[in-house]
Amino acid sequence: MNPLHYLRALRGITVRELLRFVHQRERFVSALVRPLVWLFIFAAGFRSTLGLSPIPPYETYILYEEYITPGLLGMIQLFNGMQSSLSMVYDREMGNMRTLLVSPLPRWFLLVAKLLAGTLVSILQAYAFLLVAWFYDVRVPIEGYIDLLPALVLSGLMLGALGLLLSSFIEQLENFAGVMNFVIFPMFFLSTALYPLWKLQESSELLHTLAQYNPFSQAVELIRFALYGQFNAHACVYTLTALVLFLSAAVFGYNPSKGMMQKKGGKQ
Amino acid sequence: MNSPTAPALLLHSVSLSYGEKLALDKVSFTVSPGECVILLGPNGAGKTSLFSLITRLYDTREGSIEIAGFNLKRHSSKALGRLGVVFQQPTLDMDLSVERNLLYHADLHGMGRKLARIRIREELDRQAMFERRHEKVRQLNGGHRRRVEIARALLHKPDLLLLDEPTVGLDMPSRKAIVEYVHQLSADQNIAVLWATHLVDEIFATDQLIVLHKGIIRFQGAVPALLEKTATPNVASAFQQLTQEGK
């Protein structure tokens, strides 16, 4: 197998993912509207009730809209990761997944290619959101938009890998509602997306600890620091480690002789 | 390793069980280049399980499978590269055009754009579908979608074409056209075909048959040998006789 074959397969999977996203207009609109609703309504409502003292990377007092922007970028990627996962379960039920799995490439590569393609889609969504936010006067230093890119790649890969892992466990579309309740919401609310860690600590030590170890918190912090041209090494290592763990488990789950594929075989 | 004389498909003593239930019991057969083998079995006979193993959706735990001389477990990429599949469920992207669906497949098989476009033209032309290449799959009827899926399976010129009940849900003229096309293809292009079905009217007198029932091969050979063995006047009666045993 030559490297060109891998590149062509990656192109095929990426183009397909992008075209699917473009063709599903509702998905594009809801991916954009969801964080904007949080920014325009939720943040406006809570602006006066949540007092935020300056914590790194902020050097001065900031508006709540500015605080939750990194969290909303993370939310876009979290939902996109879950959306990809949902589409994989759908593809598997509908059979489309089989055309991918029967192609002459190692399964780990097919999953990584799918992950890269999904991450690219999430990054496009994130920048579209930032563009709208810019018109709403939520702005960061111009270099922040560039520094943000590698952070979005890493966080997008990590959250996408989590989606892949979940899709290897979920057997039917109906079970997906559980993912919303037990994964997306706890991950989002138990994180630094909406409030800083010290605020949580004031309420509950347990919640503070859970939020601290939540990989989504670390992804949000990575994004937050990158937006202000700073590098959060701890968040980066944590997110990278979570990516490796989730991806390895997903590859195991999709292995035809191990993991969930073999178990699913018993239910055909 | 691959050799010019290797059968397109070789199954040796393949078994598969789902917990306590044995789905396939020591299944062995070969499909040679240019041969059209019909895998005949009622629902639940084990056809889909067998196809899942040949397409490596699951690994073969007992027995071995070779495609064009490549062991599916040890040289899975090479083996899968020699395989074209039409699944029972439609697997095209409905919102993408015919051409885009085929380009996606060509990319997965590592084909360059120029070669891919030549092959797409060849395969679609052969089924009178080239003019419709820019249409979304959603706009095509069931028969035409199946034609596109067959064109897609042949794009990388496989040694073995697997078809898992490809005519399910199609009207009579579409079914007839597909059955005739695949038989012609096997004869003209020396492609080995393994066609799973439970519809006996899709069988030609020249086909090789494998009758699978409850995971066990009840018969394999040519149509005349089946009629002789079962002392029946036609394949339908023979099939009924073989699949009623052990009920």
Determine contact, residues B195/B163, Cβ cutoff 8 Å.
Answer: yes
Would you call A192 exposed, middle or buried from its count of C-beta atoms within 10 A (0-12, 13-18, 19+)? buried
At B239, the amino acid letter reads: F
Task: Name which of A72-81, A156-165, A168-177, B209-218 the model is least confident about.
Answer: A168-177
C-alpha span between B243 and A243 (Å, rounded): 51
Q: Flag whether pLDDT at B228 surpasses 60.
A: yes
B199: pLDDT confidence band, cut at 50, 70 and 90? confident
C-alpha span between B241 and B87 (Å, rounded): 28
C-alpha span between B203 and A113 (Å, rounded): 41
C-alpha span between B130 and B133 (Å, rounded): 5
A266: pLDDT confidence band, cut at 50, 70 and 90? very low
Give the pLDDT mean for A111-138. 92
Every domain of chain A and the residues it spans:
3-35+67-131+141-265
Structure tokens at B201: 């009217």
Determine contact, residues B39/B208, Cβ cutoff 8 Å.
Answer: no
Give the pLDDT mean for B154-163. 95
C-alpha separations of B20 from A263, B24, B63 in Å? 13, 12, 18
In this predicted model, which residue has the larger pLDDT, B81 or B169?
Answer: B81
C-alpha separations of B245 from B24, B155, B236, B242 in Å? 17, 41, 15, 6
C-alpha span between B128 and B13 (Å, rounded): 41
> Which of A96, A103, A261 minimises the CB distance to B58?
A261
Flag whether residue A19 sits within 8 Å of chain B, measured between CB atoms: yes
What is the per-residue pLDDT across A82-112, written as a single tens digit (0 to 9) for each? 888 777 777 776 677 788 888 999 888 998 9
The C-alpha of A93 sits at a distance from chain B's nearest C-alpha, in angstroms, of 9
What does pLDDT average to over chain A?
85
| Chain A residues closer than 8 Å to B120 by CB | none
Cβ–Cβ gap B57/A4 under 8 Å: no
Task: Name which of A164-173, B12-21, B100-109, B211-220 the model is least confident about.
Answer: A164-173
**For chain B, percent of residues with pLDDT exceeding 90:** 62
Q: Flag whether pLDDT at A261 surpasses 60.
A: no
> Which residues have a Cβ under 8 Å from the Cβ of A54 and sit 6 or more positions away?
A60, A61, A62
Residue with tokens 């943040």: A43
Rg, chain B, Cα only: 18
CATH number of B1-82+161-247: 3.40.50.300
Q: Flag whether pLDDT at B191 surpasses 90.
A: yes
The C-alpha of B127 sits at a distance from chain A's nearest C-alpha, in angstroms, of 21
Helix (H) or strand (E) holding B210: strand B208-213
Would you call A97 exposed, middle or buried from its count of C-beta atoms within 10 A (0-12, 13-18, 19+)? buried
> Which residues have a Cβ under 8 Å from the Cβ of A268 and sit 6 or more positions away?
B18, B48, B49, B52
pLDDT at A52: 66
Give the pLDDT mean for A176-186. 78
pLDDT at A203: 81
Every domain of chain B and the residues it spans:
1-82+161-247, 92-157
Determine contact, residues A104/A67, Cβ cutoff 8 Å.
Answer: no
Structure tokens at B150: 């067959």
Give the pLDDT mean for B150-159. 94
pLDDT at A94: 67
> Which of A4, A20, A94 minimises the CB distance to B110?
A4
Decide the pairing of beta strands B9-18 and B62-67.
antiparallel
B61: pLDDT confidence band, cut at 50, 70 and 90? confident
C-alpha span between B9 and B54 (Å, rounded): 9
Q: Flag whether pLDDT at B57 surpasses 90.
A: no
C-alpha span between A108 and B80 (Å, rounded): 15
Determine contact, residues B193/B181, Cβ cutoff 8 Å.
Answer: no
| Chain B residues closer than 8 Å to A267 by CB | 18
Give the pLDDT mean for B31-59. 90
pLDDT at B20: 80
C-alpha span between A89 and A172 (Å, rounded): 7
Q: Hey, is B1 helix, strand or coil?
A: coil
> Which of A16, A256, A265 minimises the CB distance to B104?
A16
HSE toward the beta carbon, residue A34, CA cutoff 13 A: 18
In this predicted model, which residue has the larger pLDDT, A196 or B37?
Answer: B37
What is the per-residue pLDDT across A205-246, written as a single tens digit (0 to 9) for each? 899 899 999 999 999 999 999 999 899 999 999 999 999 999
